[in-house]
Amino acid sequence: MNTFSEERAVELGEYIVKHKATVRAAAEVFGISKSTVHMDVTGRLKKIDPSLYFQVREILDINKAQRHIRGGLATKEKYLKEKVKTK
């Protein structure tokens, strides 16, 4: 495993913990794909820094449990904006 990938995995983990960020938000900030973020923080990070991995895992589990709520709010917001446009 190269050091760049390891460093990136640690940086991503620290960012997610500090900002309680979603995988999507971290991917956008770092300019990489969601798949890469997920692979780094679930696969690589577990081997590099288990303590940080478990902190990240907690946040990812919370985000997963709440995603249906965020999706519903986003849909509601979309239709409210469309309703305002048609008036």
Q: pTM here?
A: 0.77
Predicted pLDDT at 16 = 96
Q: What is the extent of the structural domain holding 35? A: 3-86
Provide the domain count of the chain: 1
In this prediction, residue 9 has a pLDDT band, given cuts at 50, 70 and 90, of very high
CA atoms within 13 A on the CB side of 61: 6
Q: How many CB atoms lie within 10 A of CB 33?
A: 11
48-83 pLDDT per residue, tens? 999 999 999 999 999 888 777 777 878 888 888 887
12-55 pLDDT per residue, tens? 999 999 999 999 999 999 999 999 999 999 999 999 999 999 99
Please say if the pLDDT value at position 1 is more than 60: no
